[in-house]
Amino acid sequence: MFPAPPEGKFIFKPDIDTRFADGYSDAAFATVAIGMNVSDVLALLGEPISTYESANWSFPGDAKTLWWYASDGACAWGDFAWRAPIIGIRDGVVVSKWTQWCYD
């Protein structure tokens, strides 16, 4: 028996199923500020794992591109929730940032 249901948070290590981007750290993510240039973000965090362009969606800060610094699938023996640090970009500038738990 696991201490979390499928796609729940693993209470002993919440990030167990989170695969972070190379170069990512929570400390560096905390220093990213609204208005920061994308080149500064790349210097702090490296390349994101994935990016999403916004054509018909509305994102915080009216972001047009989302940079995701994590993905699912780090745990080989279970499927748990994962934490996604996300940065919203518009016109080469940070307009939003947040972290969310993903249950997929």
Contact predicate 22/48, CB 8 Å = no
pLDDT at 37 over 60: yes
CATH number of 18-102: 3.30.1450
pLDDT at 101 over 60: yes
Those residues whose C-beta lies under 8 Å from the C-beta of residue 2, and which sit 6 or more positions away, are 10, 78
Q: What is the pLDDT of residues 1-36, one digit of tens each?
A: 455 556 788 888 889 989 999 999 999 999 999 999
**Angle in degrees, CA 74, 88, 20, rounded to 5:** 15
Q: What percent of the chain has pLDDT over 90?
A: 64
Q: Where are the domains of the chain?
A: 18-102
By residue count, the chain amounts to 104
**Residue 1: its pLDDT value, please?**
46
CA 2 to chain centre: 25
> Across the chain, what does the average pLDDT equal?
90
